[in-house]
Amino acid sequence: MKQPPQSTGLAVSLLAWYDRARRDLPWRAAPGSSSDPYRVWLSEIMLQQTTVATVAPYYRAFLDRWPRVQDLAAATLDDVLHAWQGLGYYARARNMHACARVVAAEHGGRFPASEAELRALPGIGPYTAAAIAAIAFNRPATPVDGNVERVMARLYAVEQALPGAKPELRRRAARLTPQRRPGDYAQAVMDLGATICTPRNPDCGVCPWRGACRALADGRTGELPRRAASGARPLRRGIAFWAWRRDGSILLRRRPERGLLGGMMEVPSTAWRSAPWTIGEATAEAPVTADWQALPGIVRHTFTHFHLELEVAAGQCDGRSKQRGAEGEWVALDALTGYALPTVMKKVVGHAAAALDQNQ
């Protein structure tokens, strides 16, 4: 499909800027070189809702440990989750591992090139499929992330607020995607949003699209993109059970594979709900029988959609588990670093250890 003249001119000017100012990223192929689909996929999964600065060392560590998709597929989920600690949104790690296994087993270790086939793989949605198709296979696909949405909203002065404006912004972005060098172009728009067309104080004076930007012409770059008002995060509460034995080990439990923090190890807890818990009420959900005593203080943590407050109850027991929910495992305190504990559970461990030290 032939592009409008303005679209072609914008793509040409952006690619010329990209050739001069492209970011040097560890997963980005050198100019003129082909991109490795495995590296593109790995970086795109890690970059979801995470910054480049945070991802870079994790990416290098994963690539050193699992240089091919077959190597990652052969790893255990526990090893992958442990290596992922600190990146958050652990469903990404579970899906990444599942995807690696499908690619290795069903695709001969090669990622498919089409968006439709990529979207059929675990953990790959529309954005990631488009990014891989464009960057790794040079297909004329249009990945649209937050950076791209912001650029399009300003370029065309789109008044509708996000998230409602997403379909229009995707259409606008797709019309600009060139047939020539679509992979470079996709990365160029991302770079433009990340380095020049930033959320605050965009550097419009050096932008290659400044002559065409409607928001700049109207003096409204600070107003766009508009965002719908978001509601306050609800508060949930629970009680975590610090079960310990005389040998110094504590009880951990694996969370169900599906759901928040799925497949991760946890200090067992009650369900997380809006109403406060009492120790007496919570005992029915305790993983083992013990004389539970509430420790002073509260562990607080914020997830994407809610705030969490956990009280901690400690109890010594003989290790006989009720086997509630998932299987429990007794772990020595000095061995906890070998387990994939999410950040909220690391907070529980630190809180309980400090509280019990003060009581001794």
Active site residues: 44
Provide long-range contacts, Cβ within 8 A and 24+ apart, for 55-58. Answer: 55/87, 56/25, 56/26, 58/83, 58/84, 58/86, 58/87
Q: Dihedral (C-alpha) 70, 73, 74, 76: value to the nearest 10 degrees?
A: 160
CB burial of 152-164 (b: ≥16 within 10 Å; e: otherwise) equals bbbbbbbeeebee
Q: Are 317 and 268 in contact (CB under 8 A)?
A: no
67: amino acid identity, one letter: P
Residues whose CB is less than 8 angstroms from the CB of residue 60 and which lie 6 or more positions away in sequence, other chains included:
26
Spatial separation of the C-alpha atoms in residues 310 and 316, rounded to whole Å: 19
State how far the Cα of 59 lies from the Cα of 77, in Å rounded to an integer: 17
Sequence length of the chain is 360
**What is the three-class DSSP state of 285?**
helix
User: 304: closest CA among 84, 46, 48?
Assistant: 48
Spatial contact of 240 and 268, defined as CB atoms under 8 Å apart: yes
